[in-house]
């Protein structure tokens, strides 16, 4: 069984990102970059399925400029078998990403595509769903548990009301939620081994995909600074302020 794991290069989750002075986007100069945390969970889950003997091959794929090869190599160090980079310097929006992934799905015919539920830079939460629609495949989003059995995959999903389990026919698209697993760290020997694993590079043109953006970013600015709070000396004063100053009760 083959699993395709799309991994996105994003600013490290622990870095405080600032807006560029001209408001055209986030300032990523000298910012530490990493695999999107939800994609890291997807790689970990694929590796666990391989360790359990369910999966035989894991392909890590990243779309972007040359620097995203770093995130593919990290995925290879974590246990993926080979990598694919679709190289472009252009800004990629979720529809373009989904179309490129669809072209790779057509070529590779994976049994499962395991994506993150969301990238932490754009917070889009769209790619997995769009890919499922474009490929005409069943989808299980926000997975907190995945179980493959008898040509099907059972996906337990985190939804507002609690947990829901859906049974999907394979091939299927799954997106990972935070509680699916805790990703491992790559060991030094595995980081060294990853350098020798195969990594194919292709372009959107070679895949025949139009990646022109459909959305325009009007302005990127930091949220308004919050003013400091105050301590009140009693419940009576609090109620009075809520009633007469904030006018919320
Ligand atoms: P999004 O819809 O942008 O929130 O992204 C959801 C998921 O789609 C991510 O967690 C990745 O698995 C995948 N994805 C989005 N953009 C890329 C990219 N440039 N390269 C590889 N995978 C991506």
Mutate to test the pocket of ligand 1, among 116, 183, 199 (most ligand atoms within 8 A of CB): 116
Q: Are 83 and 40 in contact (CB under 8 A)?
A: no
Using a pLDDT cut of 90, give the percent of the chain over it: 94
Q: Where are the domains of the chain?
A: 2-244
- Distance (Å, whole) CA 63 – CA 201: 10
Positive/negative CA dihedral, 126, 127, 133, 134: positive
For 209-230, write each residue's pLDDT tens digit.
Answer: 999 999 999 999 988 888 898 9
| pLDDT at site 223 | 87
Q: Are 81 and 197 in contact (CB under 8 A)?
A: yes
Phi, psi of 85 (to 5 degrees): -115, 130
**pLDDT confidence of 188, banded at 50, 70, 90?**
very high
Cα torsion at 92, 43, 131, 69 (round to 10°)?
30
| pLDDT at site 129 | 98
| pLDDT at site 111 | 98
CA of 65 to the centre of ligand 1 (A): 14
**pLDDT confidence of 173, banded at 50, 70, 90?**
very high
For 20-77, write each residue's pLDDT tens digit.
Answer: 999 999 999 999 999 999 999 999 999 999 999 999 999 999 999 999 999 999 999 9
Residue 1 has pLDDT above 90, yes or no: yes
Residue 233 has pLDDT above 90, yes or no: yes
Atom of ligand 1 nearest to the CA of 36: 10
Q: Is any ligand 1 atom within 6 A of the Cβ of residue 58?
A: no
Q: Are 140 and 153 in contact (CB under 8 A)?
A: yes
**Token pair of 187 as six digits:** 């060991």
The residue nearest atom 9 of ligand 1, judged by CA position, is 116
Q: Is any ligand 1 atom within 6 A of the Cβ of residue 142?
A: no
Q: Is any ligand 1 atom within 6 A of the Cβ of residue 39?
A: yes
Atom of ligand 1 nearest to the CA of 5: 12
| pLDDT at site 150 | 86
- Distance (Å, whole) CA 202 – CA 196: 19
Q: Are 57 and 33 in contact (CB under 8 A)?
A: no
Q: Is any ligand 1 atom within 6 A of the Cβ of residue 119?
A: yes
CA of 249 to the centre of ligand 1 (A): 43
Q: For the domain 2-244, what is the CATH superfamily, name and number?
A: HUPs (3.40.50.620)
Q: Is any ligand 1 atom within 6 A of the Cβ of residue 99?
A: no
Mutate to test the pocket of ligand 1, among 10, 11, 36 (most ligand atoms within 8 A of CB): 36
Q: What is the mean pLDDT of residues 112-138?
A: 97
With residue 63 as reference, give the H or E element that holds it.
strand 57-64
**pLDDT confidence of 145, banded at 50, 70, 90?**
very high
Please state, in angstroms and as integers, the Cα–Cα distance from residue 16 to each residue in 31, 128, 178, 219, following that order. 9, 27, 21, 19
Query: pTM for this one?
Result: 0.91
Residue 131 has pLDDT above 90, yes or no: yes
Using a pLDDT cut of 70, give the percent of the chain over it: 100
For 92-110, write each residue's pLDDT tens digit.
Answer: 999 999 999 999 999 999 9
């Amino acid at each position: 069984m083959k699993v395709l794991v799309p991994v996105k290069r994003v600013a490290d989750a622990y870095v405080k990102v600032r807006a560029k002075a001209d408001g055209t986007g986030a300032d990523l100069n000298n910012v530490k970059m990493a695999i999107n945390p939800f994609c890291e969970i997807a790689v970990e889950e694929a590796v666990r399925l391989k360790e359990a003997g369910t999966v035989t091959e894991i392909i890590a794929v990243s779309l972007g400029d040359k620097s995203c090869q770093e995130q593919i190599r990290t995925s290879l160090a974590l246990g993926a078998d080979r990598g694919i980079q679709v190289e472009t310097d252009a800004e990629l929006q979720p529809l373009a990403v989904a179309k490129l992934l669809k072209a790779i799905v057509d070529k590779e015919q994976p049994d499962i595509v395991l994506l993150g539920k969301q990238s932490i830079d754009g917070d889009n939460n769209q790619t997995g769903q769009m890919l499922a629609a474009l490929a005409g495949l069943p989808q299980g989003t926000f997975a907190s548990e995945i179980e493959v059995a008898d040509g099907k995959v059972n996906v337990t999903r985190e939804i507002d009301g609690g947990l829901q389990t859906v049974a999907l026919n394979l091939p299927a698209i799954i997106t990972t939620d935070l509680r699916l697993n805790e990703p491992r760290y790559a060991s030094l020997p595995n980081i060294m081994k990853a350098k020798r694993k195969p990594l194919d590079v292709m372009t959107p043109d070679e895949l025949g995909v139009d990646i022109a953006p459909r959305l325009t970013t009007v302005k990127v600015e930091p949220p308004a600074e919050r003013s400091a709070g105050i301590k009140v000396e009693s419940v009576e004063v609090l109620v009075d302020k809520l009633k007469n100053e904030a006018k919320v009760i």
